[in-house]
Amino acid sequence: MKHAFAAAVRRERHERGWTQAELAARLSAALEQEVSALTVTRIEAASRPTSIDEAAALARILGFSLDDMAATSTEPSSAVRYLITHPRDQKLDDLVIEDPALTLRFEAGWAILADDHGVCLAIPSGQGASIQRVDVQEPAPREE
């Protein structure tokens, strides 16, 4: 449903002729907190989690139903998933990032997770985070 939601936000914003900054201003007013145009960019790219409050406000602002979207979602269930864990002393939340087209590459000291829309997450190599693909079962070791 993540990608269906992102596509609906992008489509409805375009239909109204609004910029991402204009939608961010409307969302800021609805949530009574600052929302940047970059946040809207990431929501439309499905490259960041969208809170329930944000999703509900966007649906109200743009005039679509979250219930209808959930019922008609065609997002594939075979998404590629990576679990990112951080050392406990960093006090950062672990997260799972998933997308059917998700790829992982290492470039210039960074681990880069990207999909068809571009970079979803980049983690510097010295941060101590671990990245594990969790959507596939590891084959059992063969006895020799």
Domains of the chain: 2-72 (1.10.260.40), 80-133 (no CATH)
Does the structure show a pLDDT above 50 at 84? yes
In this predicted structure, the answer to whether residue 120 has a pLDDT above a threshold of 50 is: yes
What are the pLDDT digits (tens) for 12-52? 899 999 999 999 999 999 999 999 999 999 888 888 878 77
Listed residue (105, 21, 94, 54) closest to 5, CA to CA = 54
Average pLDDT, the chain: 80
**What is the pLDDT confidence band of residue 71, given thresholds at 50, 70 and 90?**
very low
Stronger pLDDT, 66 or 74, i.e. the higher one: 66
d(CA 36, CA 76): 30
CA contacts within 13 A on the Cβ side of 135:
15
The model's pTM: 0.50
Question: In the block, which residue shows the tokens 């992008």?
Answer: 10
What DSSP character marks residue 93?
-
Q: What angle separates helix 2-16 from helix 37-44, to the nearest 10 degrees?
A: 130
